[in-house]
Amino acid sequence: MKRAIAAGAGSDAMPGSQTLACESALHLLERSIAYGHRRLAIVRLSIAVSAGADIADPQWRYCREAADASRDPALQSLFLRAATARLAETATSHGAHLP
Protein backbone atom coordinates (compact mmCIF):
# COMPACT_ATOMS: atom_id res chain seq x y z
CA MET A 1 0.00 0.00 0.00
CA LYS A 2 2.84 2.38 0.75
CA ARG A 3 4.18 1.85 -2.77
CA ALA A 4 0.76 2.61 -4.23
CA ILE A 5 0.65 5.87 -2.29
CA ALA A 6 4.11 6.84 -3.50
CA ALA A 7 3.24 5.97 -7.11
CA GLY A 8 0.09 8.08 -7.05
CA ALA A 9 1.50 11.02 -5.15
CA GLY A 10 3.25 12.82 -8.00
CA SER A 11 1.51 15.46 -10.07
CA ASP A 12 2.36 13.43 -13.18
CA ALA A 13 0.79 10.23 -11.81
CA MET A 14 -1.80 8.47 -13.90
CA PRO A 15 -5.44 8.83 -12.74
CA GLY A 16 -5.67 5.15 -11.75
CA SER A 17 -2.55 5.51 -9.64
CA GLN A 18 -3.96 8.57 -7.90
CA THR A 19 -7.18 6.73 -7.07
CA LEU A 20 -5.26 3.76 -5.71
CA ALA A 21 -3.05 6.11 -3.68
CA CYS A 22 -6.10 7.75 -2.09
CA GLU A 23 -7.74 4.42 -1.31
CA SER A 24 -4.53 3.01 0.15
CA ALA A 25 -3.91 6.10 2.28
CA LEU A 26 -7.45 5.96 3.64
CA HIS A 27 -7.16 2.25 4.39
CA LEU A 28 -3.94 2.78 6.34
CA LEU A 29 -5.48 5.73 8.22
CA GLU A 30 -8.56 3.70 9.13
CA ARG A 31 -6.40 0.79 10.27
CA SER A 32 -4.36 3.09 12.54
CA ILE A 33 -7.56 4.47 14.05
CA ALA A 34 -9.07 0.99 14.51
CA TYR A 35 -5.98 -0.18 16.39
CA GLY A 36 -5.81 2.97 18.51
CA HIS A 37 -2.49 4.11 17.10
CA ARG A 38 -3.03 7.82 17.68
CA ARG A 39 0.40 9.09 16.62
CA LEU A 40 0.48 6.92 13.52
CA ALA A 41 -3.04 8.02 12.62
CA ILE A 42 -1.89 11.64 12.50
CA VAL A 43 1.05 10.72 10.28
CA ARG A 44 -1.26 8.75 8.00
CA LEU A 45 -3.80 11.58 7.97
CA SER A 46 -1.08 13.86 6.65
CA ILE A 47 -0.19 11.32 3.96
CA ALA A 48 -3.85 10.92 3.00
CA VAL A 49 -4.23 14.69 2.66
CA SER A 50 -1.11 14.82 0.49
CA ALA A 51 -2.56 12.06 -1.69
CA GLY A 52 -5.77 14.06 -2.12
CA ALA A 53 -7.97 11.56 -0.28
CA ASP A 54 -11.46 12.51 0.88
CA ILE A 55 -11.17 12.10 4.65
CA ALA A 56 -14.36 11.56 6.64
CA ASP A 57 -15.30 13.83 9.54
CA PRO A 58 -14.90 11.08 12.18
CA GLN A 59 -11.34 10.48 10.99
CA TRP A 60 -10.56 14.21 11.21
CA ARG A 61 -12.12 14.31 14.67
CA TYR A 62 -10.08 11.34 15.90
CA CYS A 63 -6.84 12.85 14.64
CA ARG A 64 -7.69 16.30 16.03
CA GLU A 65 -8.33 14.76 19.44
CA ALA A 66 -5.10 12.78 19.19
CA ALA A 67 -3.15 15.92 18.32
CA ASP A 68 -4.81 17.87 21.13
CA ALA A 69 -3.91 15.12 23.62
CA SER A 70 -0.33 14.87 22.41
CA ARG A 71 2.48 16.70 24.12
CA ASP A 72 4.61 16.44 20.99
CA PRO A 73 4.74 19.80 19.21
CA ALA A 74 5.95 18.15 16.00
CA LEU A 75 2.90 15.89 15.93
CA GLN A 76 0.57 18.81 16.65
CA SER A 77 2.25 20.78 13.88
CA LEU A 78 1.85 17.88 11.45
CA PHE A 79 -1.89 17.80 12.15
CA LEU A 80 -2.19 21.57 11.72
CA ARG A 81 -0.31 21.45 8.40
CA ALA A 82 -2.63 18.71 7.16
CA ALA A 83 -5.72 20.64 8.26
CA THR A 84 -4.43 23.85 6.69
CA ALA A 85 -3.60 22.05 3.44
CA ARG A 86 -7.09 20.57 3.31
CA LEU A 87 -8.67 23.95 4.06
CA ALA A 88 -6.64 25.57 1.28
CA GLU A 89 -7.55 22.78 -1.14
CA THR A 90 -11.24 23.06 -0.28
CA ALA A 91 -11.23 26.84 -0.58
CA THR A 92 -9.44 26.71 -3.94
CA SER A 93 -11.77 24.07 -5.35
CA HIS A 94 -14.75 26.23 -4.41
CA GLY A 95 -13.29 29.39 -5.93
CA ALA A 96 -12.50 30.98 -2.59
CA HIS A 97 -9.06 32.18 -1.53
CA LEU A 98 -7.50 32.04 1.90
CA PRO A 99 -6.27 35.34 3.27
In a domain, 82, yes or no: yes
Number of compact structural domains in the chain: 1
In a domain, 99, yes or no: no
- Residue-number span of the structural domain to which 36 is assigned: 2-93
The alpha carbon of residue 87 and the mean position of all alpha carbons in its chain are separated, in whole angstroms, by: 12
In a domain, 63, yes or no: yes
Give residues with Cβ within 8 angstroms of 92, minimum separation 6.
none
Q: What is the pLDDT of residues 7-66, one digit of tens each?
A: 445 555 566 678 888 999 999 999 999 999 999 999 999 999 999 999 999 999 999 999
pLDDT value, residue 19: 87
pLDDT value, residue 17: 75
In a domain, 54, yes or no: yes
Q: What is the pLDDT of residues 73-99, one digit of tens each?
A: 999 999 999 999 999 887 776 554 443
What's the predicted TM-score (pTM) here? Answer: 0.80
Give, to the nearest 10 degrees, the angle between helix 2-9 and helix 15-34: 140
